[in-house]
Structure 1
Amino acid sequence: MNVATCLNHVEPHWVELPALMDEHGHVMKRGALQSLVMSMVQHLVQAGVKRGDLVGLATLGHDQYIITTLAIAALGAVSMPLPKLPHLEQKMTGHCRFVIGRLANSDPKDDATHLDFPNAEALANPPAVESVKLFDEAGLFRISHSSGTTGTPKAVAISHEEQTQRLRQRSLVMPIQPGQSLLLMMGLDAEVTMTYVLYVLARGGALIIPGGNGGAELLRTLENASPNYVLSSPHIWAGVVQAASERHYTPNESKPVIFLAGGKPDEATVTGSVNHFNAILMSDYGSSETGMLSVNRFEKMDKAWSYAGKLLPGVQCDALDPETYAALPKGKVGILSFKVPGMVSHYWNAPEYDRRFFHGGWFSTGDLGCVDEKGFLFVGVRVSRIVNRKGVKFDLDMLEKFLTQLPYIKENAWIKIEQIGVEKLILFVVIDQSSNSAKESKTHIKQALGERYAPDQMVFIEKLPRTGSGKINRDRLLELMQSSTSAAEKLN
């Protein structure tokens, strides 16, 4: 099935249902959205876009992004959100035949044809083109980049069939009904966001587009729109909860279901979600390569931190021995490996990563964990985040959590690099400048960590860069460090 058929009207009255909404109550109905998609198809045909062409998506508005993605899919072309990292954006743009929207960093010095999104008048009066054949058969739908949590975003090629499987998967956890709504608090370039967008439209639901991305702005949208569901990341949702706490916000009668993608909430976020929103909080575990694998419902922090919920139907999971890669008995901890409908079989143009992560139809996430006899999943640290320093192994994620508890640190992130065969640890720190200077913080951090856990290099920055799904963008951190080494302060 071509994913663009998600706008097909299952019932005649669906044409009048809301499809896109904003916080002010402005509504675009499904029929109008479908007309705009078909108009965009005609504009793309006039520009020369053909089946199989790779079309890069640069900076676009939410509605423009959705319209363009569906139009590209309907033609049988392939969309690719362009990463905001300068070197990756430039590299990926070089693969595209067309680019739509404004580039974030690079100049259009490539061979791609650069197109602007049509204005309202042009969309209302599309060009006359020869009959357009819309493709229904399976083919490549979208090339999406993984979050880059490990420092290396990888291009994931998702077919129409694989995306359709992921839409079916969402029905197991979000039984949205026609006329109900989902508030988007994540960027559309994230694979998980686009999957929810397509799923909601296919079910006759509406997407609410927020007016801003700050905690207070998102809280205002939530208050005005009263959605049935919310899609966010733990980091973004924590900002909304904090804004609600500062306002002493009290819950209304609605009880929204909050889906957190890309991680788990902390205890304060769980408690605040219940107290301020009377909300049901759910967190999924999965990846761009596999789609959703398990779902965990939070009402209070009464389960082990490693608990990731129960595997969804159809998901197979093995824990592999880190040395032999043999499957371990249930309940034994190893490197998690999955096989699931909708999983991709390889990366796009990256055979070196295929050999590392894909084996015989299974995908290894790089996370340590286990699954018990009842299908409950437990996920620990990612293997690449374990450091062995002078025979002592420790987890960089645990160090991040430890430093976050210090009153003068707002955020921090560790990355591990290898220089001439030696592991180096780089710590990026966002400090509360009202309570400490960088020099004072450097001394305090060194004392708090001790010699064994001290980083080899410390960099003070104003804000941690994040991906569209709210995760720390470690690839961007490396880029910042390399481009401004004068800002780095080394620990002696």
Structure 2
Amino acid sequence: MFRPLSPLPTAWRSLLHAFVIQARRIPGRIAMRDSTGAKLTYSETLMRAAALSRVFARELGEEEYVGLMLPPMVPSAVANLALGLLGKVAVNLNYTTNQAMVDSAVEQCGIRKVITSARVLEKCHIRPKVDLVMLEDVPAKVRTTDKMFAAFTGKLAPMALLERLMPGLGTRKLDDLATVIFTSGSTGDPKGVMLTHRNILSNVHQVEEQIHLDDQEVILGILPFFHSFGYTIGLWTGLVLGKTVVYHFNPLDARTIGKLCDEHDVTLVAGTPSFTRMYLKSCSPQQFHALKHLLLGAEKLKDETYREIKEILKIEPMQGYGTTELSPVVAVNVPAPAKLPDGRTIYANRPGTVGLPVPGTAVKTVDPESGADLPPGATGLICVKGPQVMPGYLNKPEATAKVLIDGWYSTGDLGFVDQDGFLTITDRISRFSKIAGEMVPHVGVETAIMAAAGVDEHAVAVTAIPDPKHGERLCVLYTNLNATPDEIHRRLVAAGVPRLWIPSVRDFVSIEEVPITGTGKIDLRALRELAVRQPVA
């Protein structure tokens, strides 16, 4: 069911306009802080970004696309702002992937300069093959005139003058490109998703209308800026809406995260169910005493995890759904009443679904083969339309045309929309194998094997490998089965699992760990490569 979105505030002419408005409205409020102790008010953030933009102007010259390879901390947030004030397109590079993926992103954008730090290069062992601007060297390059400019623009200059002094304020409009975020490459080469100022501001506005954030909201920023959720929620939602963001560079560092949530009264945490279970095991519930919003995505929220969170934290987790191409939020559960277009008021949190689409978003399912629209409740390929839909992939018109048809984005995910408008995700179309003419879902096979083995997520992953007779066949990569493959095979047969869903015993492969991307998802490309490379039993 489509729910309309109220118009964007007229003052939101770009992401930078929206931020500067908040910096002038609430100059003394804390805008951002991080685990090193760094802390900036809104006024200080604007001044720091203004000064840094002057240094970057000298260092970067006329470059339009500028890479950043930095973790989510105060300096990297300010660096993104500084590039925005210059009118440049900031491209946050995935430092958790490999050299080839970074090289591809750099080449596709024509990036010739990347802002990074010695510490990042040392830890990630990736070095972009372009000129590097080291963040550690910046303080020595800040001139007295830069500081004077920052003080004037941060506190005194009217907006009209700021627009003349800062290209990003004077020339950038809603439909101009704000960033390029690269897909993980988990199913192929990474594609550059172009997101405009309108895309991101609309998604911020949609999230606000769905969740209704408090004025003094404190957001935990642990997802990297090369991740669309980390970029939109972790960076811009706070700055556009006047909230405080607390950054930490490692989402797996549960003890530090618990400490930050406790010390700074964090009210909103966004992550994955796996991350949350880690926090529950390593942190005291008291450390999350201020938590009101727990947004979970990227993987299915299992019933037992849902119950565990409710029991320990005394709040209802909000499972949601999004993709990079959609800026990224499409739908999210909210433990509160929601009024539907037909006049009914319902409870907007429905476990097992990913919630109601955010306002201004239309969702439908279509037949994967014919593309014909399907009725409510019918499982099909999920398509989304709304102001958060990307304009396309960078320099890839053919790839764009495959997924964007008449304004509808084809997500590649399978699911259905029920009579009340709640969206349920059942699988990803790329995670199917066609065996003997039947589509076999990898996730369904994984679920059956985990149930037979009595193991949890990330202990088993299913992919497909080439087969000379049938085109492809299922392969199970596992870290722990609590039984032999022969025994698991017998249990699957006894449980009545469809024959085509049961992999051959020879195609069970023991591995040290299931490959995961830097954003917590199974790396499907690495998984398939590992399966092809590994000898089978």
What TM-score does the superposition give when structure 2 sets the normalisation length? Answer: 0.78
2:167 is paired with a residue whose SS is coil
Aligned partner of 2:517 in structure 1 is 467
Equivalences for 1:259-274 in 2 at 5 Å? 259-274=295-310
Structure 2 residue 460 is the aligned partner of structure 1 residue 412: yes
Aligned partner of 1:22 in structure 2 is 34
| CA deviation profile, 1:313-346 (whole Å, cap 9, x unmatched) | 2111222122221212333332111111121132
Structure 2 residue 351 is the aligned partner of structure 1 residue 338: no
**CA, structure 1 residues 189+181, in 2 after alignment: closer, same or farther (shift >3 Å)?**
same
Preserved contact between residue 206 and residue 360 of structure 2 (Cα < 8 Å): no
**CA, structure 1 residues 10+121, in 2 after alignment: closer, same or farther (shift >3 Å)?**
closer
Match 2:218 to one of 174, 181, 187: 181
Displacement of 1:286 in angstroms is 1.9
| CA deviation profile, 1:414-446 (whole Å, cap 9, x unmatched) | 2235577822434332238xxx7xxx7555555
Q: What is the identity, as a one-letter code, of the residue corresponding to 1:260?
A: L
Preserved contact between residue 182 and residue 191 of structure 2 (Cα < 8 Å): yes
**CA, structure 1 residues 169+21, in 2 after alignment: closer, same or farther (shift >3 Å)?**
same
Q: What is the identity, as a one-letter code, of the residue corresponding to 1:469?
A: T
Match 2:167 to one of 116, 119, 133: 133
Preserved contact between residue 98 and residue 126 of structure 2 (Cα < 8 Å): no
Q: What is the identity, as a one-letter code, of the residue corresponding to 1:293?
A: V
Preserved contact between residue 183 and residue 208 of structure 1 (Cα < 8 Å): yes
Tell me how far apart the structure 1 counterparts of residues 23 and 434 of structure 2 sit (CA, whole Å).
59
Match 2:256 to one of 213, 217, 227: 217
Aligned partner of 1:476 in structure 2 is 526
**CA, structure 1 residues 132+21, in 2 after alignment: closer, same or farther (shift >3 Å)?**
closer
Displacement of 1:121 in angstroms is 3.1
Aligned partner of 2:76 in structure 1 is 65
Displacement of 1:5 in angstroms is 3.0
Aligned partner of 2:86 in structure 1 is 75
Aligned partner of 1:227 in structure 2 is 266
Aligned residue pairs: how many? Answer: 473
1:259 is paired with a residue whose SS is strand
Displacement of 1:357 in angstroms is 1.4
2:320 is paired with a residue whose SS is strand
Preserved contact between residue 435 and residue 473 of structure 2 (Cα < 8 Å): no
Aligned partner of 1:308 in structure 2 is 354
Unmatched runs of 5 consecutive residues or more in structure 2: 1-12, 150-163, 337-346, 494-498
Aligned partner of 1:54 in structure 2 is 65
**CA, structure 1 residues 118+363, in 2 after alignment: closer, same or farther (shift >3 Å)?**
same
Aligned partner of 1:378 in structure 2 is 424
Aligned partner of 2:479 in structure 1 is 430
**CA, structure 1 residues 448+355, in 2 after alignment: closer, same or farther (shift >3 Å)?**
farther
**CA, structure 1 residues 480+188, in 2 after alignment: closer, same or farther (shift >3 Å)?**
farther
Tell me how far apart the structure 2 counterparts of residues 123 and 16 of structure 1 sit (CA, whole Å).
27
Equivalences for 1:135-174 in 2 at 5 Å? 135-138=171-174, 139-148=176-185, 150=187, 153-174=190-211
**CA, structure 1 residues 44+311, in 2 after alignment: closer, same or farther (shift >3 Å)?**
same
Tell me how far apart the structure 1 counterparts of residues 194 and 440 of structure 2 sit (CA, whole Å).
34
Displacement of 1:303 in angstroms is 5.2
1:4 is paired with a residue whose SS is helix
Percent of pairs with identical residues = 21
Aligned partner of 1:40 in structure 2 is 52
Tell me how far apart the structure 2 counterparts of residues 428 and 127 of structure 1 sit (CA, whole Å).
59
Q: What is the identity, as a one-letter code, of the residue corresponding to 2:516?
A: R
**CA, structure 1 residues 467+74, in 2 after alignment: closer, same or farther (shift >3 Å)?**
farther
Aligned partner of 1:289 in structure 2 is 325
Preserved contact between residue 146 and residue 156 of structure 1 (Cα < 8 Å): yes
| CA deviation profile, 1:439-462 (whole Å, cap 9, x unmatched) | x75555555556852267454433
Tell me how far apart the structure 2 counterparts of residues 288 and 154 of structure 1 sit (CA, whole Å).
10
**CA, structure 1 residues 48+152, in 2 after alignment: closer, same or farther (shift >3 Å)?**
closer
Preserved contact between residue 90 and residue 106 of structure 1 (Cα < 8 Å): no
1:32 is paired with a residue whose SS is helix
Preserved contact between residue 9 and residue 15 of structure 1 (Cα < 8 Å): no
Displacement of 1:13 in angstroms is 5.9
Structure 2 residue 132 is the aligned partner of structure 1 residue 114: yes
Preserved contact between residue 82 and residue 92 of structure 1 (Cα < 8 Å): yes
Match 1:5 to one of 17, 36, 40: 17
What TM-score does the superposition give when structure 1 sets the normalisation length? Answer: 0.85
Which structure has the highest strand share of the two? 1
Q: What is the identity, as a one-letter code, of the residue corresponding to 1:412?
A: V
Displacement of 1:262 in angstroms is 2.1
Preserved contact between residue 255 and residue 278 of structure 1 (Cα < 8 Å): no
Tell me how far apart the structure 1 counterparts of residues 528 and 70 of structure 2 sit (CA, whole Å).
23
Q: What is the identity, as a one-letter code, of the residue corresponding to 1:287?
A: T
Displacement of 1:397 in angstroms is 0.7
Which structure has the highest helix share of the two? 2
Tell me how far apart the structure 2 counterparts of residues 298 and 131 of structure 1 sit (CA, whole Å).
45
Tell me how far apart the structure 2 counterparts of residues 151 and 448 of structure 1 sit (CA, whole Å).
34
**CA, structure 1 residues 319+443, in 2 after alignment: closer, same or farther (shift >3 Å)?**
same
1:137 is paired with a residue whose SS is coil
Displacement of 1:127 in angstroms is 7.2
**CA, structure 1 residues 16+284, in 2 after alignment: closer, same or farther (shift >3 Å)?**
same
Tell me how far apart the structure 2 counterparts of residues 467 and 45 of structure 1 sit (CA, whole Å).
34
2:275 is paired with a residue whose SS is helix
Equivalences for 1:242-261 in 2 at 5 Å? 242-244=281-283, 249=285, 254-261=290-297
| CA deviation profile, 1:70-113 (whole Å, cap 9, x unmatched) | 222222211222232332112222331211115544444x4x32
Tell me how far apart the structure 2 counterparts of residues 132 and 344 of structure 1 sit (CA, whole Å).
26
Structure 2 residue 403 is the aligned partner of structure 1 residue 357: yes
Displacement of 1:217 in angstroms is 3.5
Preserved contact between residue 72 and residue 79 of structure 1 (Cα < 8 Å): yes
Displacement of 1:255 in angstroms is 4.4
| CA deviation profile, 1:288-307 (whole Å, cap 9, x unmatched) | 1123221124799x9573x2
